[in-house]
Amino acid sequence: MFKDGSNGHKSLFMGYATPKAFYEALKEAGGTPGENMTMDNKETTHVTGSKLDISVNWQGAAKAYSFDEVIVDSNGKKLDMRFGGNLTAAEEKKTGCLVCLDSCPVGIVSNATYTYGAVEKRGEVKFKGNASVLPADNTLATVTFKITE
């Protein structure tokens, strides 16, 4: 979540990159945005786009942890993170959403495992940070995005 976005209070990690800078960096790295999410299809569509491996590291960490290690899915499913794109919607809505945990029509990166609304609207899944590996709140962390397909 971009630190100055309106949804900043919902995030596990706060980012310093704007949605536009993040989108452009993923494209420069060879990523292809899916651009398949709309406000009309969001609850029935899974995000597409380049698949991403996301890892997190911080000073004193035992290793770089995968997103699956730092985020707990209440259903035990793996995250399927995709470069959804959505730059126009991100700039219009100003939520600051960089990475969403369901398929989102606003987030630059989203989780294709669930459709939009699975978390907040329908309650199909709950996500929480894995307290056994995460550092204390407000610890500076590096989140790395690697395009895998």
Model confidence pLDDT, tens digit, residues 80-123: 999 999 999 999 998 888 999 999 999 999 999 999 999 989 99
Distances (CA, A) of 11 to 39, 49, 99, 134: 22, 22, 9, 14
Domain annotation covers residue 104: yes
Domain annotation covers residue 118: yes
The count of structural domains within the chain is 1
Q: Which domain, by its residues, includes 25?
A: 21-147
Total Cβ atoms within 10 A of residue 106: 26
Domain annotation covers residue 108: yes
pLDDT of residue 5: 47
pLDDT of residue 8: 53
Domain annotation covers residue 11: no
Domain annotation covers residue 132: yes
pLDDT of residue 128: 94
